[in-house]
């Protein structure tokens, strides 16, 4: 069965917590005595703070930093297969995964402080000496060329202010920084900063950056890696190792040198880190999905349920029902057989469902997603032809008036149809006379199916289809038993999966569970099967459908174990099908042309679709024990 995905704890944002105080790393690096420096700093801070208090009156419309108590930054959502393998990540502007400071390497925290704000733990949000130095540089240049921002100031700028370089913006930045330091601890501010800052290549926050640059979590970064990442903050793309490795190493050396000056690393550590090669990963922010037909369908379902913003910004952890190994088998099978019949048909779709859960295990919506994103497995409505007949025969068995051994006349017949008569014909134009129902379905005779449909009632057949989860429009026409209706491969696979389970039904789904990044369950699709069919009638149908594969129109689908299924071919050869199952897996295969043009004369579900089904099922069931179907005699006949 399935294994519920437990999202990695590193990806779960938590309430802000205090990490071990980094103040012990901060040392006096100047030649001035500690007492003199402290006195100078206090005087400068008082003067500057006093001026800012006055200016703050003019900034009454500034944002209230207290909103950050409940602030949750936008996060990347992740989609996994049923075993926890990442299939796809999606995000809005910011590709981010939030972590707390205990999950960030001490090397990185020290490196960032060294190069961005070495007095972080000793100032109150602004650093007078840095501000003064920046003001002098700006006056000399005649424009704003240096910021002098502390980490706290950078954080409020990123969260609340525009990036313009102006004195008014700088003052607002300082006022907000003072306010922020009154409400949050230093560790909380550092945590917000490291999760907020931009690291290049659409990576926001330290965790996604570490994963992108080094294929590891932020907590596992080494000193050389940490120094490189800290150096990126000033100009991420300019110093990116993906663009200019030499510039990256030069910038890294500056960070290491500053750390050594501060006494946070030794000269030997500096030299070793500077000389160590950087084994960088790859840009991950814009990677395509491993299985795009699956993930695109999943995303659309999530957006319909939760809305776009929740999906692309909410940090969802989505466990799909799909088994990636089986999915890749299905994709390869479709491509292989498309190469074989591409001169006959240009498209193919495959859906595989576990009858025990109605979980979709594999879905292929076309032969090439890059060429066409249209998902024929769930969006293409095509006539199933004779693959619809099992719905008619089950309805007959469920009345209690028919068994597989019952006789039915394969003889000419006509029915009123408006101003004319409808006279069904068999595929080969012949008639066989009175034959057992079993034989009629095994060799797919059309006339007996139409007669049986009239005997049990077309509306009863439609009601069965609704019970099996088929929602497509279904006209109550005399020819309905021959598949005169447009259905999707997903609907066909789901319905046959209920036959395979002897009548137990759950709604087919792509999604097992959805949580937010804190692990709170947003959606739980644990199967809740209901018995919707008569078990004897379902087992009787399965018994007959085994004969279709053993000696009927589906002999090309034989897989060396008990299997049941039905071919489907429309009169015009526009659509060919094979839908079949074993107790553990039901699979529908459709083949046709997107423009509805007919295939070559003689194209049938048995010659084209059944071999595809056989190929896929043999691969998918390699490690699955052979299991027999339950016999009709095990149930009570209605």
Mean pLDDT computed over 260-275: 95
Task: Give me the pLDDT at residue 480, please.
Answer: 96
Tokens of 278: 């950087």
In a 3-state reduction of DSSP, which class is residue 489?
A: helix
C-alpha triplet 565, 510, 381: angle, nearest 5°: 55
pLDDT tens-place string over residues 79-110: 999 999 999 888 776 678 888 889 999 999 99
| Top-level class of domain 327-634 | alpha beta
Bridge partner residues of 524 (DSSP): 513
Residue ranges of the chain that CATH labels 1.10.3810.10: 18-61+93-275
Task: Give me the pLDDT at residue 135, please.
Answer: 60
User: From the candidates 217, 386, 444, 506, which is the catalytic residue?
Assistant: 386
Quote the CA–CA distance of 468 and 508 in Å, as a whole number: 10
Mean pLDDT computed over 169-196: 85
Cβ–Cβ under 8 Å, residues 47 and 552: no
Residue ranges of the chain that CATH labels 3.40.710.10: 327-634
pLDDT tens-place string over residues 151-165: 998 888 877 765 555
Residue 539: which H helix or E strand, with range? Answer: helix 535-551
Task: Give the distance from CA 536 to its chain's centroid.
Answer: 39
Tokens of 262: 């501060």
pLDDT tens-place string over residues 576-591: 999 999 999 999 999 9
CA atoms 101, 106, 112, 113: torsion sign? positive
pTM of the entire predicted model? 0.75
602 HSE (CA, 13 A, CB side) = 1
Active site (annotated) includes residue 331: no
Active site (annotated) includes residue 9: no
Say how many residues make up the chain.
638
Quote the CA–CA distance of 182 and 621 in Å, as a whole number: 63
Quote the CA–CA distance of 128 and 136 in Å, as a whole number: 12
User: From the candidates 97, 116, 207, 225, which is the catalytic residue?
Assistant: 116
Quote the CA–CA distance of 68 and 183 in Å, as a whole number: 10
Task: Give me the pLDDT at residue 222, please.
Answer: 95
Q: In terms of Cα–Cα distance, which of 186, 224, 226 is closest to 206?
A: 226
Q: Count CB neighbours of 56 within 10 A.
A: 17
Per CATH, the number for 18-61+93-275 is: 1.10.3810.10
Beta 407-410 vs 433-436: how paired, if at all? antiparallel
pLDDT tens-place string over residues 355-375: 999 999 999 999 999 889 899
């Amino acid at each position: 069965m399935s294994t519920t995905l437990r999202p990695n704890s590193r990806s779960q944002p938590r309430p802000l917590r205090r990490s071990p105080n980094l103040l012990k790393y901060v040392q006096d690096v100047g030649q001035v005595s500690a007492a003199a420096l402290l006195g100078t700093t206090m005087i400068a801070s008082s003067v500057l703070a006093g001026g800012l208090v006055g200016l703050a009156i003019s900034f009454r419309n500034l944002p209230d930093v207290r909103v950050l108590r409940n602030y949750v930054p936008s996060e990347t959502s992740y989609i996994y297969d049923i075993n926890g393998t990442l299939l796809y990540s999606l995000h809005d502007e910011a590709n981010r995964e939030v972590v707390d400071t205990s999950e960030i390497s001490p090397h990185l925290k020290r490196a960032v402080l060294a190069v961005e704000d070495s007095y972080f733990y000793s100032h109150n949000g602004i650093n007078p000496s840095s501000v003064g130095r920046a003001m002098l540089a700006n006056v000399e240049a005649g424009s704003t060329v240096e910021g002098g921002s502390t980490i706290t100031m950078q954080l409020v700028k990123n969260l609340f202010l525009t990036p313009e370089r102006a004195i008014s913006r700088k003052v607002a930045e300082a006022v907000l920084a003072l306010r922020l330091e009154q409400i949050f601890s230093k560790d909380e501010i550092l945590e917000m900063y490291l999760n907020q800052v931009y690291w290049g290549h659409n990576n926001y926050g330290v965790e996604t950056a570490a994963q992108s640059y080094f294929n590891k979590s932020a907590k596992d970064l080494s000193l050389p890696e940490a120094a490189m990442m800290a150096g990126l903050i000033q100009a991420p793309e300019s110093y990116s190792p993906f663009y200019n490795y030499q510039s990256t190493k030069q910038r890294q050396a500056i960070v290491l040198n500053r750390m050594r000056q501060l006494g946070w690393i030794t000269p030997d550590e500096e030299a070793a880190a500077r000389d160590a090669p950087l084994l960088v990963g790859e840009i991950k922010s814009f990677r395509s999905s491993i299985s795009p037909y699956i993930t695109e369908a999943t995303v659309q379902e999530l957006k319909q349920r939760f809305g776009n913003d929740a999906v692309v910004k909410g940090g969802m952890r989505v466990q799909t029902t799909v088994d990636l190994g089986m999915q890749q088998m299905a994709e390869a099978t479709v491509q292989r057989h498309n190469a074989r019949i591409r001169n006959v048909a240009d498209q193919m779709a495959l859906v595989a469902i576990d009858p025990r859960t109605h979980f979709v295990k594999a879905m292929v919506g076309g032969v090439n997603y890059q060429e066409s994103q249209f998902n024929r497995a769930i969006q293409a409505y095509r006539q199933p032809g004779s693959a619809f007949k099992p719905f008619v025969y089950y309805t007959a068995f469920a009345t209690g008036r028919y068994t597989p051994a019952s006789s039915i006349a394969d003889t000419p017949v006509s029915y009123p149809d408006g101003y004319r008569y409808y006279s069904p014909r068999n595929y080969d134009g012949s008639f066989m006379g009175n034959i057992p129902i079993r034989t009629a379905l095994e060799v797919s005779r059309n006339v007996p199916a139409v007669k049986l449909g009239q005997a049990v009632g077309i509306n009863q057949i439609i009601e069965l289809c609704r019970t099996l989860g088929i929602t497509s429009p279904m006209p109550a026409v005399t020819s309905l038993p021959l598949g005169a209706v447009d259905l999707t491969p997903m609907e066909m696979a789901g319905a046959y999966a209920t036959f395979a389970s002897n009548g137990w039904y759950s709604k087919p789904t792509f999604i097992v569970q959805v949580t937010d990044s804190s692990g709170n369950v947003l959606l739980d699709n644990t199967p809740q099967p209901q018995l919707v069919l008569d078990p004897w009638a379902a087992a009787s149908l399965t018994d007959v459908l085994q004969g279709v594969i053993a000696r009927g129109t589906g002999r090309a689908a034989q897989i060396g174990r008990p299997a049941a299924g039905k071919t489907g071919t429309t009169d015009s050869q526009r659509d060919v099908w094979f839908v079949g199952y074993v107790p553990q897996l039901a699979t529908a295969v459709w083949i046709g042309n997107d423009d509805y043009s007919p295939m070559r004369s003689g194209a049938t579900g048995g010659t084209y679709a059944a071999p595809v089904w056989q190929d896929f099922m043999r691969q998918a069931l390699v490690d699955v024990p052979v299991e027999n179907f339950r016999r009709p005699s095990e149930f009570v006949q209605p």
